[in-house]
Structure 1
Amino acid sequence: MSRSAIIFHGTGGRPDVAWYPWLDGRLTDRGYRVERPSYPRINVDPIAEFLPTVLAAHDFDAETVLIGHSGGAALLLALTEHLETPVAQTILVAGYATKVNESEEPVLQDSYDWERIRANAGDLYFINSVVDPYGCDANQGRLMFDRLGGTQIVRDDGHFGDWNQQYDTFELVDRLIP
């Protein structure tokens, strides 16, 4: 086994924007095999239809680090619930577990097996802002923390990158990954 990391972009995002390429380079320099898949249908297709594609496309093991941003973080809840083997670490940036605004959220499941997620997610980190323009805020981080434990980190950095928020590096996430 070798250390690997998978960085999941958010709704309407791409793997070549924000801090994802920068983090890829940092982890690659430390010996990680990094994937930044493109999932344009994330939070478009219902999670029950979308999740099998994601599970089949990647290898997950005890050396895997999962990083998700926004819709990609919400995806990680369903993903870790359905893994066959636990991963080393899961980092949810601007993540959420319930509907956060008026938009449909097909990436969310109706319910979660929190015990199974906790058992599979490894070291869990929730990074949310006090205020997030989409509602992926510290309250959502607290909701997940209360059910899963781990570490909740609250910042005041908006959505940690968006079409109108340049966020080319993310030192905090880099420091969290051994």
Structure 2
Amino acid sequence: MARNAVIFHGTGANPRVCWYPWLGRRLAARGYEVRLPHHPELNVEPIGTFLPKVLAGQPFDEDTVLVGHSGGAALLLAVLEHIEVPVAQAVLVAGYATRPNDSAEPVLQETYDWAAIRAHVRDLYFVNSRVDPYGCDEHQGRAMFERLGGTQIVRDDGHFGDHDQPYDTFELLDRLIP
């Protein structure tokens, strides 16, 4: 069975910015079927109506790798809770499970079934920065890690890409995904 990877961009972003296309090319070169869906309604539309559209648009199986950045990483929590089959790996970059700042966060659920999330992913990574300007920091990563296990990686790399932080490559992610 072919391995597949889905890379979810962050709030207000698109699949053509940041390290997303670079990682997509790296994974495709290793034999992954890569999808970089564009979700302009990410963190705009409430998760209750947004999530079914995301789930309907993507096949998930035991060989799937999920990567999410910022709002896309927060989306992965809901995806992992509600999919039918465990995926191989999920990497949440600048992820969060509670409001990281004063902005509305419609991508977040009111509560999470942490046991269901953990049961639906074999290998889990949280990559956060101590100097994230939006509050998607190591404390957010630690809160998820304490509920889900996996591996937490803490860096000092801002938001790992933003309108004012070019981040065209992300070697760490390339090494984390087999």
TM-score, reference length from structure 1: 0.99
SS of equivalent residue, structure 2 residue 84: coil
- Could you tell me which residue of structure 2 aligns to residue 45 of structure 1? 45
**Cα displacement (A) at 1:122:** 1.9
2:2 and 2:147 mapped to 1: Cα distance?
30
SS of equivalent residue, structure 1 residue 122: strand
Structure 2: which 5+ runs fail to align? none
**Cα displacement (A) at 1:131:** 1.6
**Cα displacement (A) at 1:121:** 1.9
- Identity across matched positions, percent: 69
Asked if 1:79 corresponds to 2:75, the answer is: no
1:131 and 1:28 mapped to 2: Cα distance?
31
1:173 and 1:42 mapped to 2: Cα distance?
22
CA offsets, 1:74-119, max 9 Å, x none? 0000000000001000000000000011100000000000000001
Structure 1: which 5+ runs fail to align? none
CA offsets, 1:108-155, max 9 Å, x none? 000000000001022000000012000000000000000000000000
Aligned length: 178
Q: Which amino acid aligns with 1:15?
A: P
SS of equivalent residue, structure 2 residue 109: coil
Matches within 5 A, 1:4-153: 4-153=4-153
Q: Which amino acid aligns with 1:176?
A: L
